[in-house]
Amino acid sequence: MTAAHDESLLAQVAALPALPGVYRYFDAQGNVLYVGKAKQLKKRVSSYFQKDHGGTRIGHMVSKIARMETTVVRSEAEALLLENNLIKTLSPRFNILFRDDKSYPYLKLTGNGRAALPAVVTTPEAHHYPRVAYYRGGVEKKHRYFGPFPSAWAVKESIQLIQKVFKLRTCEDTVFANRTRPCLLFQIKRCSGPCVNLISPEDYKADVQHAEQFLNGETQALMREMEQRMMAHADRLEFEQAAEVRNQMTALSRVLHQQSVDTAVDTDADILVVRVQGGRACVNLAMVRGGRHLGDRPYFPVHVQDAQDLLGLEEGEVESEVQRPVEVQVLEAFLAQHYIGVPVPPLLILSVPVDKALITALSAQSGVKISTVTQPREHRRVWLEMAEKNAELQLARLLAEEGSQQARTRALAEALDLAPDDLDQLHIECFDISHTAGENTQASCVVFRQHKMQSSDYRRYNIEGITPGDDYAAMRQVLMRRYGKLAEALRSGEGTARLPDLVLIDGGKGQVSMAKEVFSDLGLDLSRIVGVEKGEGRKVGLEELVFADGREKVYLGKDSAALMLVAQIRDEAHRFAITGMRAARAKVRMGGSKIEEIPGIGPRKRARLLQRFGGVRGVEAASVEDLSGVEGISHELAETIYNALH
């Protein structure tokens, strides 16, 4: 063994048992360098210290090892699971690491479906009419959850389909309890109006059950059941009800056709494709749930090259073993790390074959018998080809954007789970309020699109009719003025009206709550509102993001590219508001246009008036007698000034 390391460390290596286990290397500062697994700990760990690795990545890592920890396990499968749990937890410097700890979104149906229904309904109660909603977080037994989904967009699309076909409510329970007449969603046939007793609990429960069947992929059984229900209504001469079920079947058939749903097999599957180029890797995960293809999501691991060299050293212990391709190493790392705490479907369609021991370990961990396919046919082949194409596009885009403004845009889109059709068109608007001791209140709106600030789209709003210094009222006014007409256009379906993908508010919970009220009143999507709250000590880089839709606060990290973009947009909104406020203040100090336009008032008299009364507002508040007391202002001219300003 090399003498470059402490004798106690080398003695620890020499004393290792020939048993399966997991080892961790630490540097002198206590940072984790590498986590590995071994069939025989002694043989594997000794290989790092028995020769000089020179100036290679391996040599660089080995030279930093100051301490080691090992854990003996019963089998290689246990070692595999423990290894990736530790990688996920410790984020070692030399392991392939997927830094994506965001929980996946789910579609939520409130209640468990077992509540007894009332015989007679006088006042509808929310718990008798389950609500469909977007959800992210830990699941609870008292509600029903469907997913996970690859993105928020996929959940919201599914909710829209359920509204269109089954007309389930999406309103909060507090809104439901206080309705006295149907809302807009009822008018456009996206809700059956349970809040005002326009549907019985039994009929609504049937719609909920049908929505569950649809989400579970039981589409053929659902269509048969709906057809029988329609014929039963017709036999009883209930033609309106029969027509309603027929319309549901038509809408459902259209959805199934558009979604290209395979109703026979593969109700749940994940399609995983890996591509490696230019030292970067992309794993593209596509999800099929309930027979529907829900879209995909790219993942970009770090430390690929470092980990590849170390894995090559480990595999070189067996002379006959050929080093596995880096694609296999990356995909295995993803499988082992990704499915920790995430439900795994029974079928995995993979672009490259992986170690069978890994799949066996995943099956044991999840309690689900998992099968894999690497040479799929028919519709599975189509899914795999789609995922392969998307992986290539995502990796090419990453390489092109690296270190650029586009990288910041992508980082923010990923951090907030935004999913625009085209990243170039990601549209962000940011608002800020500015005033001088409550006077001259102005609101600014700046626009970010196509990876840059769009100064030609900036707008300033003079805020009037509020209590001086009331920033909440100012925010309410500017948001109503900005999005009021847009909300009307969206409701009418006229033109090409489009909400921004993100509305940034420079403020914390208070400002976000005000924005939430405005968007609720206008019927707009609350998930688009994000507040930028000052961090501890109001230090730059410690800002937290506050969400209007109830999500937990998010701290992106001081060096986060996403936070850099948020700060850039927020600072631009603040700069634009400040310059507008200063310009207005300067205009008042110089006299303003009203005084300049009064006949008989030249520069000297205007200056005397402003100096005497402290500005335009002071001149406006002055009486005729007060004005005539200024040098050079006659009583007749004072009356002219007073009448012109009033």
| Span 593-612, pLDDT tens digits | 567 678 778 778 887 887 78
Domain assignment present for residue 600? The answer is yes
- Say what the pLDDT of residue 317 is: 47
- The radius of gyration of the chain from alpha carbons, rounded to an integer in Å, stands at 32
**Least confident range of 13-22, 227-236, 329-338:** 227-236
Instruction: Say how far apart CA 311 and CA 409 lie, in whole Å.
Output: 34
Beta bridge partners of residue 36, listed in sequence order? 23
Which is more confident, 535 or 454?
454
How many domains are contained in the chain? 4
Q: Are 621 and 568 part of one and the same domain?
A: no
Q: Are 452 and 568 part of one and the same domain?
A: yes
Q: Are 549 and 535 part of one and the same domain?
A: yes
Instruction: Say how far apart CA 19 and CA 17 lie, in whole Å.
Output: 5
Instruction: Say how far apart CA 345 and CA 290 lie, in whole Å.
Output: 11
Q: What angle do CA 351, 353, 354 make, to 5 degrees?
A: 120
- Label residues 236-249 b or e (16+ Cβ within 10 Å = b): eeeeebbebbbebb
Which is more confident, 587 or 429?
429
Q: Are 569 and 444 in contact (CB under 8 A)?
A: no
| Secondary structure (DSSP) of 127-150 | GGS--EEEEES---TTSEEE---S
What CATH number is associated with residue 355? 3.30.420
Q: Which domain-ending residue is among 90, 110, 134?
A: 90
What CATH number is associated with residue 605? 1.10.150.20
Among 545, 585, 319, smallest CA distance to 436 is for 585
Q: Which amino acid is at 628?
A: S
What CATH number is associated with residue 71? 3.40.1440.10
Q: Are 434 and 580 part of one and the same domain?
A: yes
Give percent of the chain with pLDDT exceeding 70.
85
Residue 488's domain comprises 423-587
Q: How far is CA 326 from CA 168, 392, 486, 516, in A?
A: 48, 16, 50, 47
> Is the model's pLDDT at 319 over the cut of 50?
no
- Say what the pLDDT of residue 621 is: 81
Summarize pLDDT for 183-227 with one digit per residue, the tens: 888 888 889 899 988 888 888 988 898 888 888 777 777 777 777
Band of pLDDT at residue 437, cut at 50, 70 and 90: low
Q: Are 567 and 640 part of one and the same domain?
A: no
Q: How far is CA 16 from CA 39, 304, 364, 426, 602, in A?
A: 12, 28, 28, 55, 96
> Is the model's pLDDT at 38 over the cut of 60?
yes
DSSP-based three-state secondary structure for 82: helix
DSSP state of 371: E
Band of pLDDT at residue 540, cut at 50, 70 and 90: low
| Mean pLDDT confidence for 110-114 | 79
Say how far residue 121 (Cα) sits from the centre of its chain. Answer: 39
Summarize pLDDT for 359-369 with one digit per residue, the tens: 988 898 888 89
Domain assignment present for residue 251? The answer is no
Band of pLDDT at residue 447, cut at 50, 70 and 90: very high
What CATH number is associated with residue 553? 3.30.420.340
- Say what the pLDDT of residue 445 is: 93
Q: Which domain-ending residue is among 587, 604, 637?
A: 587
Band of pLDDT at residue 475, cut at 50, 70 and 90: very high
Q: Which amino acid is at 237?
A: L
Summarize pLDDT for 47-80 with one digit per residue, the tens: 888 776 665 667 778 888 888 999 998 887 788 8
Phi (first) and psi of residue 333, to 5 degrees:
-65, -40
Summarize pLDDT for 330-381 with one digit per residue, the tens: 998 899 888 887 888 899 999 999 988 889 888 988 888 999 999 988 888 8
Domain assignment present for residue 125? The answer is no
* E strands present in 174-291: 269-277, 280-289
The mean of the pLDDT values for the chain is 81
Phi (first) and psi of residue 435, to 5 degrees:
-160, 170
**Dihedral through CA 377, CA 383, CA 385, CA 391, nearest 10?**
-150
Q: Are 583 and 595 part of one and the same domain?
A: no
Q: Are 32 and 11 in contact (CB under 8 A)?
A: no
Domain assignment present for residue 113? The answer is no
Q: Are 444 and 565 part of one and the same domain?
A: yes
Q: Are 335 and 272 in contact (CB under 8 A)?
A: yes
**pTM across the whole model:** 0.58
Query: Within 13 Å, how many C-alpha atoms sit on residue 397's CB side?
Result: 20
Q: Which amino acid is at 519?
A: F
> Is the model's pLDDT at 397 over the cut of 90?
no
Q: Are 638 and 604 part of one and the same domain?
A: yes
Domain assignment present for residue 411? The answer is no
Q: Are 378 and 433 part of one and the same domain?
A: no
Q: Are 521 and 616 part of one and the same domain?
A: no
Instruction: Say how far apart CA 329 and CA 310 lie, in whole Å.
Output: 11
> Is the model's pLDDT at 589 over the cut of 80?
no
| Mean pLDDT confidence for 159-174 | 87
Q: Are 579 and 463 part of one and the same domain?
A: yes
Q: Are 285 and 364 part of one and the same domain?
A: yes
**Least confident range of 132-146, 401-415, 558-572, 624-638:** 401-415
> Is the model's pLDDT at 3 over the cut of 60?
no
- Label residues 126-164 b or e (16+ Cβ within 10 Å = b): bebbbbbbbbbeeeeeebbbbbbbbbbbbbbbbbebbbb
Domain assignment present for residue 258? The answer is no
Domain assignment present for residue 212? The answer is no
Q: Are 335 and 354 in contact (CB under 8 A)?
A: yes
Band of pLDDT at residue 314, cut at 50, 70 and 90: low
| Mean pLDDT confidence for 251-276 | 67
Domain assignment present for residue 166? The answer is no
| Mean pLDDT confidence for 407-427 | 79
Q: Which domain-ending residue is among 563, 587, 611?
A: 587
> Is the model's pLDDT at 264 over the cut of 50?
no
Q: Are 138 and 106 in contact (CB under 8 A)?
A: no
DSSP-based three-state secondary structure for 460: strand
Band of pLDDT at residue 228, cut at 50, 70 and 90: confident
